[in-house]
Amino acid sequence: MSDADAKQIERMKSLLATQKSAFRADSHRDVNRRKDDLDRLISLCQKNVDAIADAICHDFGNRARQESVIAEIAFTIQDAKHTKKHLSKWMAPKRKPLPMTLQPGKAYVRREPVGVVGIIAPWNYPFQMATAPLVAALGAGCRVMLKPSEHTPATSELLKTLIAEHFEEDHVTVVTGGPAVGEAFSKLKFDHLFYTGSTQVGRLIALAAAENLVPTTLELGGKSPAILTDNYPVRAAAKSLGWGKCYNAGQTCVAPDYLMVPNGKEREVAEEIIRVVQHQHPEAASDDAFTAIVSDRHYERLNAMIEEARSGGAEILQPDHDVEAAKAARKVPPTIILNAPDDSKILTEEIFGPILPIIGYTSLDAATNYISDRPHPLALYVYSSDKQQTQRVLNATQSGGAGVNINIVHLSVPDLPFGGVGASGHGAYHGEYGFLTFTHERAVLETGKWHPSSLLAPPYGKVYEAVAKKQLK
C-alpha cells in the first residue's frame, strides 16, 4: 500500500467519525433542508454541464457528449426534481390499522434516515451512478461518503471538487483512490453501503460489509438477454437493439448481452442490425457520437472475446470500418456474432461492449429455459406483437427489470424500482424506492396513560382467559 493510500484511508476513518457525530447532533433533517440539499445538487449539475461532459470524455478517450448530457447530467437533475416534488409525501408518517384488541391507541410508521451511508460508484456512468444514489440519500436525510471509480480519474476529481463547493464535509464528501482505498472503504462501519459494479466485486463488498453487519444494496450486472419472437418486425427490433447495444459503446449494465431469435432468422436479424448501426455510426473510428472503450485493458479484453469466438468457428459481422483508426481511437466497431461456441467467453461472461451474439431457438419455451438455466440477469427484453407471448416470457423468467419492445430505458422511469435479483444484485433505488433504501421505517404504537393490555398481566384471571379464547378462534 502506498503512503498516499494509507493517508487517504486514515482520512476516511476520520471523515466517517465526523459525519456520524454530525448525524447524532442533527438526525432529523426537515423537509425544507432536504429540498435545499437537492437544489444544491441540481445547481451543481446545471452550472457545470460542459465541465462534467469534458471530464467524462477525457476519461473515456471519447465519450459522446449527447450521452453524457442526457444519461448522466440531465438524469440526475430530473431524478432530484422528482424526489423534491414528492418528498413531503414520502416523509410523512404512515398510519396503520390497529386491531380491536389493542385499542385505544394509534399505530404508525416513522420514516427516518438510516444515518451515514457509503456509496461506491462504477466507471461506466461515472457521474450519474454516483449522483443518482446521492439524490436518494439526500432525500432520505442521510449524510454521505462517496467513493467514485479510479478508472475515471478526471470525473472523480471534478466530482470531489464540485461536491466540496456545494456541501459541508460533514454532510457529503468524496474520497478518491485506488483498489486499496476502495477495499478499506467497503469495510467502514457505515449505516448502509450502496455498491454498483460487477458481480465478482459485489461478492467481496458483501463479505466486507457483513463483518460489521452493515446492510447493503448491490447493483450488479449479468448477461441481460433479449428475445425476438417470430411475429415482431425484424427492422423495428434491429433499430431498437442496435441503438441500445451501441449506447455508450455497450458499456451499460442493462445493455442486451445476447439476442435469441427463432431458428433460421439468425442471419436476417444480424444483417439488419448491421445495416442499422452502419447508418447510426457510418465510421465508428471518427464518429464522436460513438463512445470509445474506457481503457486499453477493457479494449483488449473485448477483442480477445471476439477472436476466441472466431477461432471457435463463429462468424463475425461488422460494418465497414478503418481497422487501424478504430484501434488508435480505442473503439470496437458494432459487432454481431453468429454460432459462437457455448463455452466461449462471449456467451459466459458479461460483455460490456458493442458486441451482440445471436442464438437461435426452436421454441419460446426453449428460449426461456435457456435463460432460466443461467443466473438471473439485471434486465430482460422481449420483442413481440403478441401480448400472450410476452406474458409467457415474463412468467417463465426472472430478472431485475424488463422491457417489452424496448431496451435499457426502463431505468429512466422515476417511479419504477431499479435493481437486480439473485446474482444481479439485491435492493433497488430510483424515486421512492431509492428514498426507502436509505430510510428506516420505525414502527410506533402510541396509547394514553392506561391501556387494556394491562389487564392481561399476572395474576392471570378471567379477562386473560376470555381474551386468549377469542384469539385462538
Whether the CB-CB separation of 92 and 35 falls below 8 Å is answered with no
Question: In angstroms, what CA-CA distances link 264 with 11, 66, 230, 383?
Answer: 60, 37, 10, 17
Number of helices (H) and strands (E) in the chain: give both, helices first: 18, 18
CA-closest candidate to residue 412, choices 379, 385, 436, 386: 379
β-pair partners for 383: 228
The CA R_g of the chain, rounded to the nearest whole Å, is 25
Question: SS3 of 95, please?
Answer: strand
Cβ-count burial of 3 within 10 angstroms (0-12 exposed, 13-18 middle, 19+ buried)? Answer: exposed
Cell of 369: 429455459
One-letter amino acid at 124 equals N
Q: Any catalytic annotation for residue 253?
A: yes
Whether the CB-CB separation of 117 and 189 falls below 8 Å is answered with no
Dihedral (CA of 325, 352, 272, 404) sign: negative
Measured at the alpha carbon of residue 246, what is the angle toward residues 242 and 251, in degrees to the nearest 5? 140
Task: Out of 45, 57, 253, 266, pick the active-site residue.
Answer: 253
Residue-wise DSSP of 194-262? EEES-HHHHHHHHHHHHTTT--EEEE-----EEEE-TTS-HHHHHHHHHHHHHGGGG--TTS--EEEEE
β-pair partners for 144: 117, 172
With b for 16 or more beta-carbon neighbours within 10 A and e for fewer, the 308-334 pattern comes to bbeeeebeebbbebeeeebeebbbbbb
Task: Out of 45, 67, 72, 219, pick the active-site residue.
Answer: 219
Q: Any catalytic annotation for residue 45?
A: no
Cell of 24: 447524532
- Catalytic residues, by residue number, are 219, 253
